Structure 1
Amino acid sequence: MDDYGTRENADLATRNKAESVVERVYLSVKHLCTGKGDVRNRLVGAVTSLLLLQTHEFPEDLQSDFEWVIEKSTKYESEYQKYQGNIEATMKRIKNSTGEKIAQKIFSIYSKIQDIRGFPLLSYRNPND
């Protein structure tokens, strides 16, 4: 069976970075899938899971995607910093369609990390296997 992931093509540093962030990104995807409310409500937990990570911890190809997610999710500053963070303030102001784009980007990051790790998701597998 052919390897349809990029593990064989990714260098050791890239694979190590993917391993170091996979748990947090998984937790983010879990919030998106199992959280309550519309996508904007679920994104609060999902993005909060990612905030412990820094851009340089991601594989180079995913750093701009991570920065985009954080930037879009913290676009608006909270007027009530003591009671509400910037993520919550942003999610209350953006459209649901924008929230969906952020969620899709988070899932794309997760999918690419799994691909680098050698565990491609179903869409990457050969249907003849």
Structure 2
Amino acid sequence: MEISYLREKLSLAKYELAIGAGDVRERLYDAFLAMHTLREADFPEQYRKDWRWIKKQLTRYEPIKDYEGKVFIGSVQNTLRRIK
């Protein structure tokens, strides 16, 4: 992956966190949407541990599924709705 793509996605996520619309949960979700296509392998080695930590924090809780087993609320949304 091009480093410019990585920088673009992270810059957009930073923008959403800093001055995006909504409360902190909405801004975190928008930041996640800006960078959810990134993979650990896209990062330089020294930043991969940080990326794993970010993803782990955003997906602490499992998705909520409906009676058919289909995801009703994703793990990121389920995690963010629990923060205060």
Question: Under a length normalisation based on structure 2, what TM-score does the superposition of the two structures give?
Answer: 0.79
The structure 2 residue matched to 1:62, chosen from 47, 54, 64, is 47
Distance 2:83 2:45 in 1: 28
Distance 1:37 1:19 in 2: 28
- The answer to whether residue 31 in structure 2 is matched with residue 42 in structure 1 is no
**Segments of 4+ in structure 1 off by > 4 A?**
none
Which structure is higher in strand share? 2
CA RMSD of aligned residues (A): 1.9
**Amino-acid identity (%):** 32
Q: Which has the higher contact order (CA 8 A, sep 6+)?
A: 1
- Bigger Cα Rg: 1
Which structure 2 residue ranges, 5 or more long, are not aligned? Answer: 66-70
Which structure 1 residue ranges, 5 or more long, are not aligned? Answer: 1-15, 96-129
- The answer to whether residue 60 in structure 2 is matched with residue 75 in structure 1 is yes
Question: Under a length normalisation based on structure 1, what TM-score does the superposition of the two structures give?
Answer: 0.54
- The answer to whether residue 81 in structure 2 is matched with residue 89 in structure 1 is no
